[in-house]
Amino acid sequence: MGIKYLKISSAFLFVLQATSIFSQQTQKTDEPTPLIPIVKLGENVQVKFGGFVRAEYYFDSRETVGAVDDLFSFFPENVKKDANSGDDLNAVSRNNLSSQATRFNALFTGPDVWNAKSSSFFEFDFTGGGAGVGTSGAGTSTGITNAVGLRLRHAWIKLSWVKSDLLVGKTWNPLSEISFPSVIGLNTGIPFRPFGRGDQLRFTWKPSSTINVLAAALYQSEHKSFIFSDAANTTAGISNCADTRSNPIPDLHVQIHFKTPALFAGIVSEYKVVKPATQTTGTVGVYNANTTISSYAVGAFADYKKNLFNVKVGEMYGENLSELFQQGGYAVKTLNAVTGEKTYSASNSVTSWLNITYGTKLMAGLFGGYQKNLGFNDNILSVTNGGAFLGRWQNVDHIYRVGPSLKYSIGRLVLAAEVEYNVAGYGTVDYNNRGKVIHPTDVSGVRGTLVTTFLF
């Protein structure tokens, strides 16, 4: 994985160990009383409404890979040269003011069912219009617009016993739910940590006050894997063109959490099987396709609090996590020209991130992240040899980010500012060495964000 990555990972772990000399929990921010009172709907049934209005101004020093009018910004676009002058066509600054991230939610509580407390929750925002990220596998850029539209973020039902919870419905992918970094931008640390939601059946067992065990089966309903979108199996796609319902099993998750007043830490894992196509087209006809590609991910996280300090750290090794806005995916490794049958190899990548904050009413923060592309499990075919890549950002060798931030809370109003320095190393894919990226060249960009949020 490289000396550079090992050095950065070691630095992250050193900071975490240094902060462990502290003990006790951070001071808790005083939360305002609900603006909308809890409403009683009937006997033992009530609802609590919430959400926020968020308006943000953001500036990019060059074109960026992102989503939703680049409200979600990941890293700078590669150099694209003018045919005549040789100037970089992506060296163009952009800025915008948007309130699309505004949200509304409702939490319902009901009577006990089977000796369990019953509840349900839904939430939506206004970022549901237009194209998603990387519908062609390359990522959208600033020029792609996103019409304002409602989007269902969460919708779940839960039964809670003393030592267990059962949840069914749409919520965070278990890999992305735990330990969100305290950053200002909507990217929540993408692409250095997974991000996604899906419909799932989730069971959490609580054998003690400090240990939780989580198991979930998730269906890719919002954030989906790349599969082939054409009958010839040459074009990769997601969103409406990707019918991931053909996947033979749901994505399987197991996690173990350890929680005390000062420390929240855990181990996470995922196993996934993707079916890239349901039929193939060869030189002599059309055939059923039953080939699948399996992959897994493992990681660990820690969230440590001491008075006004809060330190969070996470690290993950993963294969084919493109649906969670991670670099990579899978690619064709063999091709039978007669039947069109393909076999596949999964990508490998490793990511680390660190987030340190200090304060409550006035909070200063620093985020750092590093991602390394490790290539594939096998040698893969180039496009000219009948190959195809299904995922995100195949020619990116590494990505890193440093982002200081400042947030001020006064009553229901939150004012925040953040500056991110992002670097992506673009190179050439070596098909003779497991698809690793060689001769990378760093491209840097700066994202500045100013946010005003009113909580209700």
Report which DSSP code applies to 51. E
- Is residue 193 one of the residues assigned to a domain? yes
State the pLDDT at residue 288: 87
- Quote the number of domains for the chain: 1
State the pLDDT at residue 146: 55
369 sits in the region (left: phi over 0; alpha: psi -120 to 50; else beta) called beta
State the pLDDT at residue 147: 63
- Digits of tens for pLDDT over the chain (456 positions)? 444 444 444 443 433 333 333 333 333 334 445 567 788 877 888 999 999 999 999 999 999 999 888 889 999 999 999 999 989 999 999 999 999 999 999 999 999 999 999 999 999 998 876 544 333 333 333 334 456 788 899 999 999 999 999 999 999 999 998 889 999 999 999 999 999 999 999 999 999 999 999 999 999 988 889 888 776 677 776 654 446 677 889 999 999 999 999 999 999 999 999 999 888 888 888 888 889 999 999 999 999 999 999 999 999 999 999 999 999 999 999 999 888 899 999 999 999 999 999 999 999 999 999 999 999 999 999 998 888 999 999 999 999 999 999 999 999 999 999 999 999 999 999 999 999 999 999 999 999 999 999 999
- Is residue 131 one of the residues assigned to a domain? no
- Is residue 81 one of the residues assigned to a domain? no
Contact at 8 Å (CB) between 243 and 251?
A: no
Domain span at 402: 3-34+155-455
- Is residue 57 one of the residues assigned to a domain? no
- Is residue 147 one of the residues assigned to a domain? no
CB within 8 Å of 197: residues ≥ 6 apart: 153, 154, 170, 171, 172, 173, 176, 221, 222, 223
What are the start-end ranges of the H helices in 74-232?
174-177
Amino acid at 375: G
- Is residue 59 one of the residues assigned to a domain? no
- Is residue 329 one of the residues assigned to a domain? yes
**What is the three-class DSSP state of 12?**
helix
CA distance 327 to 391: 8
How many residues are there in the chain?
A: 456
Residues forming a β-bridge with 94: 60
**What is the three-class DSSP state of 127?**
strand
State the pLDDT at residue 318: 95
State the pLDDT at residue 178: 82
- Structure pTM? 0.84
State the pLDDT at residue 231: 67
CB within 8 Å of 384: residues ≥ 6 apart: none
- Is residue 283 one of the residues assigned to a domain? yes
State the pLDDT at residue 42: 77
CA distances from 188 to 17, 73, 182, 301 (A): 24, 10, 8, 15
* CATH code for position 371: 2.40.160
Q: What is the largest CA-CA distance in the chain?
A: 74
CA distance 185 to 447: 9
